[in-house]
Amino acid sequence: MTLHWFSIALPLLLTTSVHSQCASGDNSIGDLCYVVVNQQLSYQDAVGYCHGISTSLAVVHTTLQANFLASTIRTKTGTSDSLFWIGLSRASSSSRFTWDDGSVMYWSNFDLNFPKDNNIVAESVINGKWRTLAGQQKLVFACSYNPNNVNPASTTPTYSTDASSSTYAPYSTYATDSSTAGYGSSATPYSTDSTTNTYGPTDSSASPYPTDSSTSSYPTDSSTSPYSTGSTTSYIF
């Protein structure tokens, strides 16, 4: 009986702890909080959107995070054959890929079936694999932030749908879908849903990135899941 009670109480304690760190309605996985935005923008406009709410375009350091984003965005957009922006890019083909928050790429998940000729990275909702694009395409995206380092802005961010323009339109002009995390009033850009979804451990001292598939709802065994476990080796392109 004691063991049974503990197995129920522990997830509740973890959920409460994470909820106190991420903004209401955001998703926590590993050490980051994610805001999925069901709005199609170019890469630069997606970066501007995320920066406008004091976040970065999605940083993905683990298989668990990649699989979570692919699954969540596929569910929210209702599509199974599209890509979404993540915050990985490089200045030129001879430079290193870096994340939008300034962190280095120590784990990668590039799809070997596609060339890496371009400098902007998008992820597939089908298998969580990465591809490089030119950046002008308009895709949905996700923002991320470390709750220990930054608080999402409550002010109205601005962005432009014209990649050649430096003038940004009010965030409130498209924040009309209250069911999507990242949308809301100009005073509160996030959903009012008080339930925060929790994925993965939050205690970095114990296991910041779980590798045991029994600890995650997203299997890493390619025989049972379309998602790949990726590579643990950094690449220089």
Least confident of 28-42, 159-173, 221-235: 159-173
3-state SS assignment for residue 186: coil
pLDDT: is 52 or 21 the higher one? 52
Decide: pTM greater than 0.75. Answer: no
Which residues does residue 57 pair with via DSSP β-bridges, in sequence order? 143
pLDDT tens digits, residue range 220-229? Answer: 444 444 554 5
3-state SS assignment for residue 196: coil
Which residues does residue 124 pair with via DSSP β-bridges, in sequence order? 83
3-state SS assignment for residue 73: helix
pLDDT tens digits, residue range 196-218? Answer: 454 444 444 444 444 444 444 44
pLDDT tens digits, residue range 169-190? Answer: 333 333 334 333 443 333 434 4
**Pairwise CA distance, residues 206 & 112, whole Å:** 33
Strand bridging mode 120-124 / 83-89 = antiparallel
Torsion of CA 190, 191, 192, 197, to 10 degrees: -110
Question: Phi/psi at 75 (nearest 5 deg)?
Answer: -70, -45
**Pairwise CA distance, residues 128 & 102, whole Å:** 22
pLDDT reported for residue 8: 34
pLDDT tens digits, residue range 41-83? Answer: 999 999 999 999 999 999 999 999 999 999 999 998 887 779 9
pLDDT reported for residue 177: 40
151 burial level (CB within 10 Å; 0-12, 13-18, 19+): exposed
**Pairwise CA distance, residues 10 & 36, whole Å:** 27
Under CATH, which number does the domain 24-189 receive?
3.10.100.10
